């Protein structure tokens, strides 16, 4: 029993349950716990930019053929667009069939427009392809790290990696330094992740205490439909993709259970970005593919956000008795494919993106967004969970396309499950009972955690 309590997974689960209890029975005290969740997320984000920079720049610097980089990036973007479109379609179909907004008969004129005005203003700020592309370029080299903009960090990392490939021996030494620095930052993550139970407790207590269960009851049809739709997408669409690639989506979900619980508690997929990268490498995906696909996917492969946008838009249309033609629904899907690329793993980004999407469907009053404010936090958790799973599957798929996935290692790790990995990591270095494997690097390294002795 005591051994199980040492597991971060169990501790996070206890933190979530305790947070729900405090938020439900002591709402004011629960709402005051918000700083605990925010502090944990900020601690993780503290090292996200350095981890991405070191992983991507170091991976490119060690590539002998730069064409590989372009090919991996191209395949990743194609996969992102295909699966993201499928997510939008699933949300549209389920929303049309279930009709969660039917019977609400909301009078948009009676709603407070100031509630949605702030989100609409954020959505309209800096819109446009040119403005978006210019925003990808940071003002200075270090500005990307200061702001924590993942795409800007990715751009700086790519430029640095390319520069290293043209600098001969010095470039190789720089690549070695970047790899060593990456191990340091992953080590920091392993220290910070021990605080995950406290962060999950604070974030969950705040969510329940501040928004209350009553809001879930009022809009239960929408929240339930969203969770069900996301489950259908993960098990159906991503499950089918995983099966074609030769692994089980259920085993993969079990393997990343710790990360899923942290995301559930914090409502942010960014809170586990370094950890999910490490686990994907442990599952057999190469460091270079993982380092490129995961950070890019956090801005271009947001399956949960896509489902939310089409489903929420249909809900608001149905709730305000607004009829949308087939052409308008198809336009909605097309626009959502673009606006979703501006969302990130941070809580609330999906709501702002929804406001941007509604701008192209003027028939649905923007003031209707006020209806969703109370439950958006609960749906943010599901968005983040779906986004995380989608990016994990995407990395394994692209790695296999590139022949950079150790399929035997993937099978072995998934069959052993997370409990085996957690147990082995907790033992002393000379106490590993399984003679077939040994630790290849210290916990937190960017490389694979296990290597075969056979």
Tell me whether residue 11 is in a domain.
yes
Give the pLDDT confidence score for residue 431 in this predicted structure.
Answer: 43
Tell me whether residue 323 is in a domain.
yes
Whether the per-residue pLDDT at 65 is higher than 70: the answer is no
Whether the per-residue pLDDT at 417 is higher than 80: the answer is no
CB 35 within 8 A of CB 41: no
**Stretch 300-329: mean pLDDT, rounded?**
86
In the block, tokens 């009829």 appear at 323
Task: Express each pLDDT in 116-166 by its tens digit.
Answer: 555 555 555 545 567 767 878 888 888 888 887 788 888 899 899 888 888
Q: Which domain holds residue 237?
A: 7-418
Give the pLDDT confidence score for residue 433 in this predicted structure.
Answer: 40
Tell me whether residue 200 is in a domain.
yes
**Stretch 238-257: mean pLDDT, rounded?**
94
Contact partners, residue 265, CB within 8 Å, separation at least 6: 12, 15, 16, 19, 37, 196, 199, 200, 201, 203, 204
Highest-pLDDT range among 91-105, 181-195, 223-237, 330-344: 223-237
Mean pLDDT, all residues of the chain = 80
More confident residue, 366 or 307: 307
More confident residue, 234 or 51: 234
pTM of the full structure: 0.80
CA nearest neighbour of 58 among 69, 72, 47: 69
Q: How many domains does the chain have?
A: 1
Helices then strands, counting H and E runs in the chain, come out as 23, 2
Angle at 343 between CA 322 and CA 230, to 5 degrees: 65
Tell me whether residue 353 is in a domain.
yes
More confident residue, 304 or 114: 304
Q: Which helix (H) or strand (E) covers residue 386, if one does? A: helix 376-401
CB 359 within 8 A of CB 123: yes
Highest-pLDDT range among 11-15, 47-51, 53-57, 245-249: 245-249
Give the pLDDT confidence score for residue 1 in this predicted structure.
Answer: 57
Distance, first Cα to last Cα, the chain: 34
CA nearest neighbour of 454 among 431, 440, 432, 435: 435
What span, in angstroms and rounded, lies between the C-alpha atoms of 400 and 312?
Answer: 34
Tell me whether residue 431 is in a domain.
no
What span, in angstroms and rounded, lies between the C-alpha atoms of 205 and 431?
Answer: 39
More confident residue, 148 or 346: 148
C-alpha separations of 331 from 45, 334, 341, 381, 421 in Å: 35, 5, 16, 27, 46
Work out the number of other CB atoms within 10 angstroms of the CB of residue 234. 22
Give 45: exposed, middle or buried? Use CB within 10 Å, 0-12, 13-18, 19+: middle
Whether the per-residue pLDDT at 446 is higher than 60: the answer is no
CB 438 within 8 A of CB 450: yes
Tell me whether residue 194 is in a domain.
yes
CB 134 within 8 A of CB 344: no
Residue 336: pLDDT band with limits 50, 70, 90 = confident
Tell me whether residue 171 is in a domain.
yes
More confident residue, 392 or 44: 392
Task: Express each pLDDT in 252-273 by its tens digit.
Answer: 999 999 999 999 888 888 888 8
315: CATH: 1.10.3860.10
In the block, tokens 């446009």 appear at 128
Residue 232: φ, ψ to 5°: -60, -40
Give 133: exposed, middle or buried? Use CB within 10 Å, 0-12, 13-18, 19+: exposed
What span, in angstroms and rounded, lies between the C-alpha atoms of 56 and 58?
Answer: 5
Give the pLDDT confidence score for residue 342 in this predicted structure.
Answer: 54
CA nearest neighbour of 422 among 286, 275, 249, 291: 275
| Bridging pattern class, strands 437-439 and 450-452 | antiparallel
Buried b (16+ CB within 10 A) or exposed e, 429-445: eeeeeeeebeeeeeebb
Tell me whether residue 346 is in a domain.
yes
Give the pLDDT confidence score for residue 298 in this predicted structure.
Answer: 84
What span, in angstroms and rounded, lies between the C-alpha atoms of 191 and 73?
Answer: 32
More confident residue, 126 or 251: 251
Give the pLDDT confidence score for residue 416 in this predicted structure.
Answer: 84
Per-residue tokens: 352: 């702002």
Angle at 280 between CA 89 and CA 292, to 5 degrees: 70
């Amino acid at each position: 029993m005591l051994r199980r309590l040492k597991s971060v997974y169990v501790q996070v689960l206890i933190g979530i349950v305790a947070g729900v209890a405090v938020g439900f029975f002591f709402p004011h005290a629960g709402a005051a716990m918000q700083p605990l969740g925010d502090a944990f997320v900020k601690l993780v984000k503290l090292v996200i930019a350095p981890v991405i920079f070191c992983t991507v720049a170091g991976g490119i610097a060690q590539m002998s053929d730069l064409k590989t980089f372009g090919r991996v990036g191209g395949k990743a973007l194609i996969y992102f667009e295909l699966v993201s479109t499928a997510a939008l379609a699933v949300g549209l179909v389920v929303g049309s069939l279930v009709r969660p907004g039917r019977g609400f008969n909301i009078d948009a004129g009676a709603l407070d427009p100031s509630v949605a005005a702030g989100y609409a203003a954020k959505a309209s700020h800096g819109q446009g392809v040119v403005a978006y592309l210019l925003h990808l370029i940071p003002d200075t080299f270090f500005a990307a790290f200061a702001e924590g903009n993942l795409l800007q960090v990715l751009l700086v990392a790519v430029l640095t990696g390319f520069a290293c490939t043209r600098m001969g021996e010095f470039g190789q030494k720089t690549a070695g330094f970047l790899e060593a620095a990456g191990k340091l930052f992953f080590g920091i993550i392993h220290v910070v992740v021990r605080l995950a139970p406290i962060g999950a407790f604070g974030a969950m207590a705040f969510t329940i205490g501040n928004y209350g269960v009553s809001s879930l009851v009022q809009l239960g049809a929408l929240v339930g439909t969203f969770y069900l739709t996301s489950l259908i997408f993960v098990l159906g669409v991503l499950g089918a993709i995983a099966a074609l690639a030769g692994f089980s989506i259920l085993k993969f979900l079990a393997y990343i259970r710790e990360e899923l619980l942290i995301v559930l508690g914090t409502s942010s997929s960014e809170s586990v970005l370094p950890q999910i990268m490490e686990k994907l490498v442990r599952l057999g995906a190469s460091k270079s593919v993982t380092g490129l696909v995961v950070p890019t996917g956090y801005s271009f492969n947001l399956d949960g956000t896509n489902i939310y946008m089409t489903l929420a838009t249909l809900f608001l249309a149905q709730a305000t008795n607004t009829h949308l033609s087939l052409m308008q629904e198809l336009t909605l899907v097309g626009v959502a494919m673009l606006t979703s690329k501006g969302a990130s793993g941070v809580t609330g980004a999906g709501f702002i993106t929804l406001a941007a999407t509604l701008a192209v469907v003027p028939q649905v009053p923007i003031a209707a967004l006020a209806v969703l404010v109370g439950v958006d936090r609960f749906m943010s958790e599901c968005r983040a969970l779906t986004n995380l799973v989608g990016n994990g599957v995407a990395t394994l798929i692209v790695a296999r396309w590139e022949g950079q996935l150790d399929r035997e290692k993937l099978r072995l790790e998934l069959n052993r499950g997370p409990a085996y990995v957690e147990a082995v990591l907790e033992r002393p270095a000379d106490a590993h009972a399984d003679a077939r494997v040994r630790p290849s690097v210290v916990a937190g390294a960017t490389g694979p955690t296990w290597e075969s002795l056979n």
